[in-house]
Structures are given as structure tokens and as C-alpha cells.
Structure 1
Amino acid sequence: MRREIRYAVGSLRRGPVVRLVGWSVPEALPAAASGLVVARAVDDGFLAGRPLVGVGWLVGLVVMSAVGAVGTRMVFRRLGDLAEPFRDDLVRRVVGGALRHAVDGRGDDGAVARLTRQVEIVRDTYAGLLMAVRGFVVTVVGVVVGLLSVAPVVAALIVPPFLLGLVAFVGMLGLAARRQREAVLADERLAAAAGSVLAGARDITAAGTEEHAAAMVAGPVREQALAERRLAGVAALRTLCFAVGGWLPLLVVLFAGGWLVDRGLTAGTIMGGLTYVLFGLQPALQNLVSGVGGSGLRFVVTLGRILDATTVPPDPAPDRRPTDGHDLVLRGVTFAYGPHAEPVLRDLDLTVPAGAHLAVVGPSGIGKSTLASLLCGLLRPDAGTVTVGGVPTAELPPDRLAALRVLIPQEAYVFAGTVRENLTYLCQDDPADLDQAVAAVGAEDLVARLGGYAGEVRPAELSAGERQLLALVRAYLSPAPVAVLDEATCHLDPVAERRAEEAFAARGGTLVVIAHRTSSALRADRVLVLDGAGARYGDHETLAATSPLYRELVAAGRPAVRL
């Protein structure tokens, strides 16, 4: 629970908190003044034979209540300044966790539930807790100030039993959180056990194993019933805490009434103290107990599950071995999308020397884009190794991988911003050869049409080919020595495609082209042909003599379409 509380408190922003507290002051005005107003109305008005004076004091309380209503309205308006950023932080955390799992090759089936349900539960209960705790603190401070102004001796009778009930409630929160978590887990175990039994109900009936099936569910049922009873016991303790903190002060004042009168306190003063208990401390404590004891426990448990699922474990010490060049080497690589799926790649061996120009061709769905992702470290092989410069990509931290390779997929990404920002964000400094890069790739006309480097890019207004041109210039300017173009020119015409690929080949470094047209293979030094049964690797002449599939692709002149 401490972790969840620290996370929630750490998410508070100073400015919104100050504004929320500022508007809480007029909201607390009626509670702070109620006892004092009643005391004056009774002593100076009704008991003194001046009813109009008493009514005047009560009218003043009505006016203060109107001021308090304005404060309440503004408090609710300001509440979103805290609750919505908190929700946004959780959304980013959940999405980031799901993306990390995906990059690591692990599925995250619970991410959607966390994003659509659990985050909303936490956001709503977070707002409710803010209101409950804020209202409690502001009201109690106002009541204590009011009690001291009416009669310090009455405050001395009321505050200690109230604090006793409050401390008892706070002390049981840890137990309540554990009981709530136990109830949630017991409910999940029961649902899992019952679901498995119900799924096999027909087989159970046919085999006559009803008793065995009932025994499978009996244990989780008992655990869930015990957890619910323990949770009910916690609810009873909450009620006891409220009785001590909310009703005991009232009884103390009533029993001490004669003693207070003997000490010279008036009836109005005693009624004012009782008013503070009945209309100030009791509602504040009741809201705190119900808010923190109910929605607060849901908040802690649900937030805890989100944090458990999205906390990034400490990474092992990153591999800081210096890479020996940037050769790409695959040894015995096998990869399948799922434990029961047919492998897309099986026992693949491949070496791409530094500075080589490789084209990858093959029919649709054969594994070309999968290979690109494996080369770039976006996927991890089920078996075998992928190394760059002699270091496995799975052991390289993201910053080192990003420094070694750049990948441009078929659906090129551009963002709203200037042309310069889109072209240069993979570079640490504004490159001096920006004009040369734009000219080499063939994007001069596009840059001019967009208004030069200061022109604004509106992604929705660009064609797929225009987006690819911008992404190609961006990759060309990247300092990474390995460039992987995964059908990154498929929306360009053959002339533009040739110009872009020749620019990358002349750029230096290693170039891997997932070919959209077989003409890309004719421009490459080496070609890898994937045919589903295996792979063939060699230059154009060798493959034309040994690979029927490669001859067919070249003869047909048709594209080796995307994965």
C-alpha cells in the first residue's frame, strides 16, 4: 500500500493543488462558522429575548453556505486539473509497458483491460479520494479553529476522542488493503476454477466425474467465502472507528454538560460545540471512512495491479562490449509467431558483411519483413542468434541499437512539424549536408512544394509516396552504418526507386533492401531468396542459374510483394 500511496502523492502537481486548497477555504466556511453562529444566535438572540438577532445570525450562516456552495463548485472544476493528468500518466505507463513487452517478443493480454477498465477505476477513485481527504482536512481545521474561538474547554473534550477514532481508522487501513486484495485474488481463482469446470461440463457428465469436478471448485469456494467474511470484519471495524470518532465526542459533551455549566459556559456555547460535532466532524469523518475505506481500497488494489504489470524490472548490466564493425550475422535462426505456429524462418544462416548491398526477395508472406525486424533487433529469434558487429542484438541496449541501424518500413512515419524537424530528428545536430541528402534521394521538388525546410508537414495531406521520400531522407541522414529498407520505396515509381536505392548504396555502410520490385535485386551485390522451404544466397548470376523461383520472379518482372 505504501508504494501506491507514494505513487499517488508523487503525481500531485503543485499548482493545481494550491488552487484546489484555495477554493476549499470558502467551501469550509459554513462548517467552520456553524457552531459559533449557533452559540451567538442562542446566547445573544433567542435566550436574551432578541429573536431578530438570533435570526440575523442564522441568516448570516445561510449567506456563508452560499459562499461555500461557490467554493464547492470551483473545487469540482479544479479537480480535473489533478485527476486527468494522473490518468494520462497511467495511460502512458500502461501503453509503454505493453510496447516494451511487444519489443521483447512477449504478449500482454491484460494491457487492454488495464487501459480500458483499470485505469478508469483508478482515475475515478483517485478523484474521490482527493475530495474525501481534502474535505476532511479542510473541515477539521475549520472546526478546530471554530471550537477554540467558542470555548477551548469544549475543544479539549471533543478533539481527543475524535483523534482516537481517526488514528484507529488509519491504523487498520493496511489490514483492510490486505483483506481487499485477498478477496480480489480469491475471486479470480474461483472464476478460473469454475470456468475450467464449466468448459468441460459435457465431458464431466459423460464420464461421471461430477464429484471430482465439485472437489476442484470446493477449495476456491471456501477460500472466497473466507476472504469475504474477513472483508466484512474489516467493514465492522470501520464502523467501530466511526462510532469512536464521531459519536463518542458527542456523548462526552453531553455527559460533561453539568460540569461545563458549573464552569460558566452558556447553553449556546454547549450547543455550538454539539453543532461542530454533528455538522462538522461527523460528516467529515463519515466521508473519510466511506471514501478511503471503500473506493480507497479499490484504488490501492487496482493501482497496485497496474504498477505490478507495468513496472520495468531492472535491466541486467547492458552489454558494453565494443562492436567489431557492423557485420550482420544470423546463425540457426528460427522464428514463429506463437508457440504452435509454423515457423516463418527455420534454421537460417546468413552473413551480411559491413558495406554490403543485399536485396531480399520472395513471395508474399514468406518472411521478408520478419527478417528485417530480426536484423534490426525488433524481434528476437526463437532459436539461434542475430549479431551485429559480433554482439547479439538481444543484448544491446536500445540506444546502441539505434546508433547501429535505421529501419524504414513500408508505411513511412512522418509527424506534424516542420520539414527540417521531420528530416533531421535522427541526427544530433543539424546536418550541413541537408541539401545534398535531399538531392541524392530525389526529394527536392517535394521539399520545395512544402515551403522549404521551414514549411509545415501535415501528414494527412501527403501521399504515401511523399511520406516515403521524407522518411528516406531522414534515414539517409542518420549516422547509423546499417540501413534496412523494408519495401520503403514501394509507393515510388521505378525511376524514383532506383535513384533512392543508388543514393543509399553510394552513402556507404550496409544496405539491406526488402525488395518490392525485382529490379532492386539486379542492383544489389548479393541477393537472398526466401521460398518457404529454405533460402538461397548469392549474386544475380548464381541465383539465376540455381534458383527456379528467382528466375521466375525476374522473368515475370513482378514485385515480390510485402509480408
Structure 2
Amino acid sequence: MRRELRLCVSSLSRRPLAALAAWSVPEALPTALSGLAVARALDDGFLAGRPGTGLAWLATLMLAAGIGAVGARQVYRHLGDLVEPFRDRLVRLVVRGALSRRTAGGTEDGAVARVTHQVEIVRDSYAGLIVVIRTFLVTTLAAIMGVLVLAPVIVALILPLFLLGVAAFAGTLGLAASRQRAYLAADERLATVSGMVLAGVRDLGSLGGEAHGAALVDTPVREQAAAERALARVAAVRTVAYALGGWLPLVALLAAAPTLVAHGLTAGTVVGGLTYVLRGLQPALGTLVQGVGGSGLRLVITLGRILDGAAPASAAPAVSPPPAGHDIVLRGVTFAYGPHAEPVLRGLDLRVPPGDHLAVVGPSGVGKSTLASLVCGLLDPDSGEITLGGVPVRRASRRDLSRARVLIPQEAYIFTGTVRENVTYLRPDAEPADVAAALRAVGADRLTARLGGPDAPVSPDRLSAGERQLLALARAYLAAAPVTVLDEATCHLDPAAERQAEEAFAARGGTLVVIAHRTSSALRARRVLVLDGRSAVLGTHEEVVRASALYRDLLTPSGARWRAGRSDPAGLFGPPDRLDQRPPAGLRRDA
């Protein structure tokens, strides 16, 4: 807890904190004057037969309330100056730690939950805790000072009971902290499992694994619900502490009122003391119980998990030496999206020698994209081994993997910048002549000319899906990695443009693996791998035609269902801009 508190305190900027403290003084004025004004209004005004004097005291209290409202407004204006820099600092810590662990070869399953959910929890809790502590201190001090001015004997009566309630509340914090940790652990498990299931939803659906996917998510959902109910029970326990410190002083003062009046206190003084309890101490304790018991615990526990997960890797795990060559070998590879799910790939054996041109074909959902991710080291097989240049992919360093292979997915990523900045992202030191050659090789030169040249600005939302794919293909071509994997990376291009891009990669040399969405890609490849969800057939086009009924079906007009809605099945003509204008199958009925 000390680590978390040190971070919170060190993130407090002096200037906004000083402004916050300064504006808290006028905000405390109504509380400090409330009991005194009520007492004087009664004793010197209404009970003495001078209603004008009583009304004057109440008007003074109303004026103080207006001044307090101005102070409160200024307090919240300066709150963001304390909170937002703290949030930015947390995001940097999480991203830096995640990158460090991934670079060292580790995994970061909870990083997404930390950035998207837990950082926001800490941000809101940090702001809430600042407000709570400030309000508690300011209101309590104002109320006690007012009672001391009004009647010191009342302080001796109500303050011990108030402190008893504070102590009782403090005793519940340990239990509440453990329940909060359990809730956050359940939240991370749910984020990890649901993310894994959603990533494989297409393959699960094609293999009838919906029930398995639902079962995987069901347990963490139940665990999170149970943890949240346990947290709610702790909140109920805090009500007892509030009753001790908030209501017992009120009851004690009412019970002692006859004795106090008998010893010289006026009725107005007793009512003023009650006002300080009701308007000062009781709300202050309620704010502390609800705020620290909620925002405070969430802050400390969540911040602790963020700092644990954001810590950089202390020592990089052992990695294998750099690959000796670029042959890809899969031995008995099995992969499923979860321990109870049907395997997407089962016992797959495959060798892709250097310089090979392999097309992977099959119906949607049989594991083609999964195979691409496994080969590139983005997923680890459940069993079996994948090697690149004789080195197991899962033990290869990220640096060696990034140098050896490049993967272009179906949804190409283009960022806001120039054409040159997008194309040279994987090779920043590329010469202008090399950039132009890459654009020309994949057929992106005409698009570049239309945009205004390599230094023309690019806005991703103003490019079509096919235009984004052309720029991503040029980026991969310029990177010149020994292994290139195109995962339906040309599905938004017309057949002629697709052919030019694939032939450019094949002619450049190196290994080319194409996750095909047209049979023409398979016809251009040196070898074809057919996946049907249960088995695999590998060979040349002629060999696979003889061995695979599925492949023969894909080559016939009836096999157009594999590629229907994606492109022109004939592959003879294309629109003049070389971009396929037909929508994907899922958008066919979209107006």
C-alpha cells in the first residue's frame, strides 16, 4: 500500500493543490457558521422576541452558503489539473510495461483490461478520493471549531463518539480490500477468457463450438458476479460504522440536553450543537465511509494491480539463437480456442521450404487465419512445435521474428500521415527509389499519383478498403522480409490487381504464404494446402486436384459459395481503378 500511496502523493502538483486548499476555505464557511447562526437566531432573536435579529442571523447563514457555493465551484475547476496528469502517467506505465514484457518474450493477457478499464477506475477513484479527503477534513475541522466557539462542553460529549465511528470504519478496510482484490482478479480473468473466445468466434461457429465458447465464458462471469456480491456485503457492514459515529453523537446530545440546560446552556446553544452534528460531523463521516470505502479501496487495489502488471520484465526469458535459414516446419500442431473447444487445427504436419509459394485454401472458419497467426508467432500451439529456420517460434526473440517474417491481415492498418511514412514504417531508412519501386511493384503507384505523390497526406477514413490494402502491400514489399504471409490481404482488390501483387512477392524471392480467397491464387502458387476443418491435403495443383474432393469442388462453378460476394469469380475483368467494388457477403443486404 505504501507504493500506491507514494505514487498518489508524488502525482499531486503543488500549484493545483494549493488552489484547491485555498478555495476550500470559503466552502467551509457555511459549516463553520451554521450552528452559531442558528443559536444566535434563537437566543438573541426569536426566543427574545426580536424576529428581525433572528432573520438577520439566518440571512448571514444564507450569505455564507452563497460564498461556499463559489468556493465549491472553483474546487471542481482545479480538480482536473490534479487528476488528468495522474491518468496520463498510469497509461504510460502500463504501455511501457506491456511493451517491455512482450519484447522480452512474455505475455500480457491483462494489459488490455488495465488500459481500457482499470486505469479509468483509478482515475475516477483518485479524483473521488481527493474530494472525499478534502471534504472530510474541511467539514470536520469547521464543525469542531464552530462547536468550540459555541460551547466547548459539547465537543467533549460528541467528539469521542464520532471518533469511535471513524475507528470502526477503519477496522472494515482490511476485509473490504481483500474483497476488492478478488473482484479485480475476476474482472481480469473475464476479460482474458472473453477476449480469447471472441477472437476465435468465427472458427468456433464453423465447427459447432458455440456451446464450448459459452461454457468457457460462463465460469468467469459467475466468479465476477460472486465477487461483486461479496463486495456489496462489505458495504452493508460499513453502515454500522456510520451509525456509531454519525447518529450516536446526535442521540447523546439530545439525551444530555436537559442536563446541559440545567447547567446554564441555552436552548439555542443546544440546537446549534445539534446543527453542527447534522450539517457537519454526520455528513463528513458519511462522505468518508462511502468515499474511502468505495473510491479509496478501488484506488489502492486497482493501482496495485496496475503497478504489478506494468512493472518491466526484470529479466528476459531464455531465447533461442537467431534462425539459421527461413524454412517453416510444423510438427503435430494442434490448436483450439480454449481447453474445451473443438480443435481448429489437429495434428498438422507441414514444411514450407525457403522460397516456396504456398496457397492455403478452404471454407471460411477452418483455421486458415489461425494457421497464419501460428506461423507468425502470434499464437502458440496447444501441442506440437513450429520452427522457423530450425528455431522454435515460441522461443524466438521478437526482434528475430520481426526481421524474419511480415504478416498482412485482411483489414490493413493505415495511420494518419503521408504515403511515404505509411510505406516505410517497417523500413524507415528506405531510399526514395526503393519506395517508388515497391509502390510500382504491387500496383500502388497509380493510387499514390492520384493522392498527390509519396509525400501526400493520407487519412485512413478517406481511403477505401482496397486502397488501404495496396499501401499495406507496398509496406510489406519494401520490408523485404524473408517470409511474407498474406492473410486475405488482397480480398478488396480486383483479380488483376491481386495477381500483380502476388506475382510481385513471388518474383522478389523469399517464402510467400497466401491465405487465399480466390481459386486464382491457388492456381498461381507452387503448392496448395487444402484445409477442411478435420484434415489437410498438400501438394501441387495437379496433386491436390486428384487427392481432394473439396478442392475439386472449389474449382467448379458450385464452389463459388467459397468466394461468393467477395470478387468476380471469373477473374477476367475488373473495374478500372483495380479495386473490387462488390461488398463482402456479410454486407450483401446492407443498404
Quick check: TM above 0.5? yes
1:240 and 2:244 correspond? yes
| Count of equivalent residues | 508
Given that 2:133 and 2:288 are in contact with CA atoms closer than 8 Å, whether structure 1 keeps it comes out as yes
Shift of 1:395: 3.6
- For residue 321 of structure 1, what is the aligned residue in structure 2? 320
- For residue 195 of structure 1, what is the aligned residue in structure 2? none
Question: Residues 141 and 481 (structure 1 numbering): CA distance in 2 closer, same or farther, change over 3 Å?
Answer: farther
Given that 2:122 and 2:302 are in contact with CA atoms closer than 8 Å, whether structure 1 keeps it comes out as no
- For residue 463 of structure 1, what is the aligned residue in structure 2? 464
Shift of 1:382: 2.9
Question: Residues 465 and 131 (structure 1 numbering): CA distance in 2 closer, same or farther, change over 3 Å?
Answer: same
CA distance in 1, matches of 2:522, 2:232: 68
Deviation digits for residues 174-194 of structure 1 (CA, Å, limit 9, x no counterpart): 255279679999xxxxxxxxx
Instruction: Report 1:90-109 matches (<5 A).
Output: none
Question: Residues 539 and 32 (structure 1 numbering): CA distance in 2 closer, same or farther, change over 3 Å?
Answer: same
- For residue 409 of structure 1, what is the aligned residue in structure 2? 409
Question: Residues 526 and 53 (structure 1 numbering): CA distance in 2 closer, same or farther, change over 3 Å?
Answer: same
Shift of 1:469: 0.4
CA distance in 1, matches of 2:131, 2:141: 15
Question: Residues 143 and 254 (structure 1 numbering): CA distance in 2 closer, same or farther, change over 3 Å?
Answer: farther
Shift of 1:45: 8.0
Deviation digits for residues 526-546 of structure 1 (CA, Å, limit 9, x no counterpart): 433445564343445665676
Question: Residues 237 and 475 (structure 1 numbering): CA distance in 2 closer, same or farther, change over 3 Å?
Answer: same
Amino acid at match of 1:358: L
Runs of at least 5 residues in structure 2 that lack an aligned partner in the other structure:
185-228, 567-584, 586-591
Runs of at least 5 residues in structure 1 that lack an aligned partner in the other structure:
186-224
Provide the secondary structure at the position in 2 that maps to 1:537: strand
Instruction: Report 1:86-485 matches (<5 A).
Output: 131-143=131-143, 150=149, 157=156, 161=160, 164-165=163-164, 167-175=166-174, 177=176, 235-243=239-247, 275-292=275-292, 295=294, 317-325=316-324, 326-337=326-337, 342-396=342-396, 401-427=401-427, 432=432, 433-478=434-479, 480-485=481-486
Given that 1:334 and 1:347 are in contact with CA atoms closer than 8 Å, whether structure 2 keeps it comes out as yes
CA distance in 2, matches of 1:247, 1:390: 80
Question: Residues 461 and 76 (structure 1 numbering): CA distance in 2 closer, same or farther, change over 3 Å?
Answer: same
- For residue 67 of structure 1, what is the aligned residue in structure 2? 67
Amino acid at match of 2:246: F
Shift of 1:330: 0.4
Deviation digits for residues 473-506 of structure 1 (CA, Å, limit 9, x no counterpart): 2222336432210121122223322322233234
Given that 1:420 and 1:453 are in contact with CA atoms closer than 8 Å, whether structure 2 keeps it comes out as yes
Given that 1:104 and 1:380 are in contact with CA atoms closer than 8 Å, whether structure 2 keeps it comes out as no
Shift of 1:461: 3.4
Deviation digits for residues 362-405 of structure 1 (CA, Å, limit 9, x no counterpart): 45544322221221223332321112233333344656544442
Given that 1:518 and 1:557 are in contact with CA atoms closer than 8 Å, whether structure 2 keeps it comes out as no
- Which deviates the most, 3-12 or 27-36? 3-12
- For residue 505 of structure 1, what is the aligned residue in structure 2? 506
CA distance in 2, matches of 1:424, 1:25: 58
Given that 1:522 and 1:540 are in contact with CA atoms closer than 8 Å, whether structure 2 keeps it comes out as yes
Deviation digits for residues 307-359 of structure 1 (CA, Å, limit 9, x no counterpart): 69x95899795342222233321001123455565544332211223343322
Given that 2:483 and 2:510 are in contact with CA atoms closer than 8 Å, whether structure 1 keeps it comes out as yes
Sequence identity, in percent? 56
Given that 1:158 and 1:250 are in contact with CA atoms closer than 8 Å, whether structure 2 keeps it comes out as no
Shift of 1:509: 3.6
- Which deviates the most, 243-252 or 381-390? 243-252
Question: Residues 361 and 43 (structure 1 numbering): CA distance in 2 closer, same or farther, change over 3 Å?
Answer: closer
- TM-score of the aligned structures, taking structure 1 as reference length: 0.67
Shift of 1:151: 7.7
- For residue 589 of structure 2, what is the aligned residue in structure 1? none
Shift of 1:466: 1.1
Shift of 1:147: 6.0
CA distance in 1, matches of 2:20, 2:431: 48
CA distance in 2, matches of 1:167, 1:545: 82
Given that 1:177 and 1:300 are in contact with CA atoms closer than 8 Å, whether structure 2 keeps it comes out as no
Given that 1:247 and 1:282 are in contact with CA atoms closer than 8 Å, whether structure 2 keeps it comes out as no
Provide the secondary structure at the position in 2 that maps to 1:412: coil
Shift of 1:250: 8.6
Provide the secondary structure at the position in 2 that maps to 1:333: strand
CA distance in 2, matches of 1:358, 1:454: 35
Provide the secondary structure at the position in 1 that maps to 2:30: helix
Deviation digits for residues 44-73 of structure 1 (CA, Å, limit 9, x no counterpart): 989999876665444232112122234445
Question: Residues 283 and 552 (structure 1 numbering): CA distance in 2 closer, same or farther, change over 3 Å?
Answer: closer
Given that 1:242 and 1:285 are in contact with CA atoms closer than 8 Å, whether structure 2 keeps it comes out as yes
Deviation digits for residues 404-448 of structure 1 (CA, Å, limit 9, x no counterpart): 422112232334444344333334557653223222222122122
CA distance in 2, matches of 1:72, 1:105: 46
Question: Residues 387 and 461 (structure 1 numbering): CA distance in 2 closer, same or farther, change over 3 Å?
Answer: same
Question: Residues 502 and 3 (structure 1 numbering): CA distance in 2 closer, same or farther, change over 3 Å?
Answer: same
Amino acid at match of 1:323: P
Instruction: Report 1:521-540 matches (<5 A).
Output: 521-530=522-531, 534-539=535-540
Question: Residues 179 and 412 (structure 1 numbering): CA distance in 2 closer, same or farther, change over 3 Å?
Answer: closer
Shift of 1:168: 0.9
Given that 2:4 and 2:303 are in contact with CA atoms closer than 8 Å, whether structure 1 keeps it comes out as no
CA distance in 1, matches of 2:258, 2:417: 71
Computed over aligned residues only, the root mean square deviation of the Cα atoms, in angstroms, reads 5.8
